Structure 1
Amino acid sequence: MKNLIFTLLIWIALSSISHAKQLAITFDDAPRSANGYMDGQTRAKTLIENLKKYHIGQVAFFSNSRALNDEGMKRMQLYDNAGHLIANHTHSHPNFLETNLANYHEDFLQAHRLLKEFHNFAPYFRFPYLREGETLEKRDGMREALSKYGYKNAYITLNNYDWYIEDLFQKALREGKEVDLQRLSHMYVDVLMQSISYYDNLAIKHLGRSPKHVLLLHEMDISALFIGDLIEQLRGEGWEIISMEEAYQDPIAKYETEKPLKYNPGKIGEIALGKGQRKGLWHYTLDESYLEQRFEQEVLLLSEN
């Protein structure tokens, strides 16, 4: 009887570990263009206030240093002064498929020289478009560069097209269409939660556990507006928000594909591919036509007329 109880306790403990549901929040493309619903300073202050309101201690902003004009620099200083990490996302956001190794390497270094001056600079590098090099020369060349300068590859595990929802939102405003912000928030949160759940289940399928995840978001107006709604939904479904640095302590950080990938679905997709899965590496919500249809039907007030 004692052995049965002991076995049951071990099973319960392992089960809770395998379904830990932890994630870190990161924002790409900072400081992203801000000339629509909000200006840059309003966006930054709103995002900082909402992160604080919902008790998120520290997130990471991956910066394209080309955008560090006067306004962009002030915006990044707001994030820096609020205690958030500033990391490298290249200078000009090049597509590695269309850029040779030497030019890509220099773009990375140009960002490094500018971004390392921030107080909360952290040596993490996120590849634009998640493209890490489609040839051995390019992939291994950047791996060597990251190692030389003390960087870690800031992979993501939870992929989505939040940036396209933002594009639809800003386009609707430019065209004078009425946008229901409450409905937009509902769509935004629902789309993200669907993809988060999908990739977590994919991880459990191939790893037998829920790893410490890294959520890809972008520094945008809808992020500032609705991050609190997303956090509430995450916590309501049992997710714990952790720091990015803690997330990258997960053993999957050491996983690397044998062959270079032309298009990268994120770390969980890489692992699934390595396990033999060929379809479903990108969730169906990562589709522009799908998001357009939902936006038209659910968000635009004009669709009711």
Structure 2
Amino acid sequence: MTINSSLKALMILFALFISFDGFSKEIALTFDDAPRAAKGYFDGKTRAAKLIANLKAHQVEQVAFFVVTSRLDAEGVARVNAYNTAGHIIANHSDTHPDFNRLTLEQYSDNFLRADRQLRPFSNFSPLYRFPYLREGNTLEKRNGMRALLKDRGYRNGYITLNNYDWYIETLFQQSIKSGQPLDMERMRQFYVKTLMASIQYYDQMANTYLGRSPKHVLLLHEMDITALFIGDLVDELRRQGWKIISPEQAYTDDIALYQTERVLKYNPGRIGEIARDNDQKSNLWHKTLDEAYLKQAFDQQVLNKTSQE
């Protein structure tokens, strides 16, 4: 091989490396409902320790915990302090996790402000607000009122791009533990990773359809036992499939952070779903893995190894 041909080969390899690195998919991890009730497989202290250790062991430097402040009793404060001390972002998820569709703007605003006052003392507090149930107001007045309040208080919308029903998988897991049903933890691990990856791939493809690219994604998860158990396995699979784990602060620098739908949505599918709806996609804004009946059947078959006749 001549010097010129060797140089060309090296240049091609370098270009391929730059191309892969430049177009790698990026994802940030966020956890809602902290400190979530912990009366099942783990207690709260054990869950927090397991989750922190698992993130550290898999080189995930920073995630965000969206906190419901009415849960900040002594144990809850200790748990959120542990996440804060570990370097993770502490953000606002309301005081009582209300459904905006059921409250007035004044009631909802007061709920948000109560949480804000309690969260600002945390050293890693970041003014990000995630609407409970992702519901941002079912009237123009409510939607615009909260947009104005967030702006006035220096907040950003803690939107998500990758939606799932991991909370229902947790329900099925805890029900099985409580009932004493034999539960194969390896099957459980595989089901968790497979189901979440299916939803991630679905919404990433939707993003590519309407944006022509894969944005800096924000994954919705919840602070739960199955998350503490299997987050490392999910991270491993994400990286195996070419994803790069980034911080939430990095994710919220994407251009879609500035996107605001003009629609008033009673139920919100997340930022990618909003964009799809604004481009006239009227169905399939929620992936099939966001259907409780589908998940129950899949859980019974794939985790409990039940047949449809049982």
Do they superpose with TM above 0.5? yes
CA contact (8 A) 1:18 1:208 kept: no
Match of 1:4 in 2: none
| Cα drift, residue 20 of structure 1 | 3.3
CA distance, structure 1, for counterparts of residue 272 and residue 23 of structure 2: 15
Which of residues 96, 101, 110 in structure 1 aligns to 2:100?
96
Contact 1:18 1:210 in 2 (8 A): no
Q: 1:52 aligns with which of 27, 50, 56?
A: 56
- What is the Cα deviation at residue 178 of structure 1? 1.7
Task: Give the one of 123, 130, 136 matched to 1:126.
Answer: 130
Is the CA contact 1:180–1:301 (under 8 Å) kept in the aligned structure 2? no
Paired position in structure 1 for 2:65: 61
Residue 170 of structure 1 and its aligned partner are, at CA, apart by 0.6
Deviates more, 1:30-39 or 1:249-258: 249-258
Contact 1:17/1:209 (<8 A) preserved: no
**3-state SS in 1 of match to 2:245:** strand
Partner in structure 2 of residue 268 of structure 1: 272
Match of 1:300 in 2: 304
2:44 alignment partner in structure 1:
40
Write the letter of the residue equivalent to 1:214.
V
Distance, in Å, in 1 between the alignment partners of 2:218 and 2:152 is 24
SS in 2 for 1:241: strand
Q: Which amino acid aligns with 1:239?
A: W
The answer to whether 1:223 aligns with 2:227 is yes
Once the two structures are overlaid, the 10-residue window that deviates more, 171-180 or 228-237, is 171-180
Cα gap change, 1:178 to 1:258, in 2 (>3 Å): same
Matches within 5 A, 1:112-261: 112-261=116-265
Specify the alignment match of 2:4 in structure 1: none
Deviations 1:276-296 (A, max 9, x none): 111111111100011101111
Pick which of 58-67 and 290-299 moved more.
290-299
Q: Partner letter of residue 295 of structure 2?
A: L
**Cα distance in 2, alignment partners of residues 259 and 53 from structure 1:** 42
Shift of 1:85: 0.5
Counterpart amino acid of 1:264?
Answer: N
Task: Report if aligned partners of 1:202, 1:272 keep a CA contact under 8 Å in 2.
Answer: yes
CA deviation string 1:147-168 (max 9, x = no partner): 1110000000000000000000
- Aligned ranges 1:64-75 → 2 under 5 Å: 64-75=68-79
Amino acid across the alignment from 2:57: K
Q: What amino acid is aligned across from residue 295 of structure 1 in structure 2?
A: F
Amino acid at match of 2:214: S
Q: State the match for 1:5 in structure 2.
A: none
Distance 1:195 1:18 in 2: 24
Number of residue pairs the alignment of both structures matches? 297
Coordinate RMSD, CA, aligned: 2.1
Percentage of identical aligned residues? 56
Mapped to 1, the partners of 2:194 and 2:25 lie a distance apart of: 17
Per-residue deviation at 1:303? 6.5
Query: Distance between the aligned counterparts of 2:16 and 2:137, measured in 1?
Result: 42
Instruction: Give me the whole-angstrom Cα distance separating, in 2, the residues matched to 1:268 and 1:159.
Output: 9
2: CA distance between counterparts of 1:209 and 1:287? 27
Q: 1:52 corresponds to which letter in structure 2?
A: K
Q: Secondary structure of the equivalent of 1:285?
A: helix
Per the alignment, residue 281 of structure 1 pairs with 285
Unaligned runs of 5+ in 2: 1-11
Aligned letter for 2:94?
T
Q: Counterparts of 1:40 and 1:22 in 2: how far apart (Å)?
A: 30
- In structure 1, stretches of 5+ residues that fail to align are 1-7
SS at 1:271's partner residue? helix
In the TM superposition, what whole-angstrom CA distance separates every residue of 1:178-208 from its partner, at most 9, and x where no partner exists?
A: 2111111100100100010010011001111
Distance 1:162 1:276, change over 3 A: same
Q: What's the offset of the Cα at 1:14?
A: 11
In structure 2, distance between residues paired with 1:16 and 1:127: 35
Give the SS at the match of 2:289: coil
CA–CA distance in structure 1, aligned partners of residues 65 and 248 of structure 2: 11
Q: 1:132 and 1:303, CA in 2 relative to 1: closer, same or farther beyond 3 A?
A: same
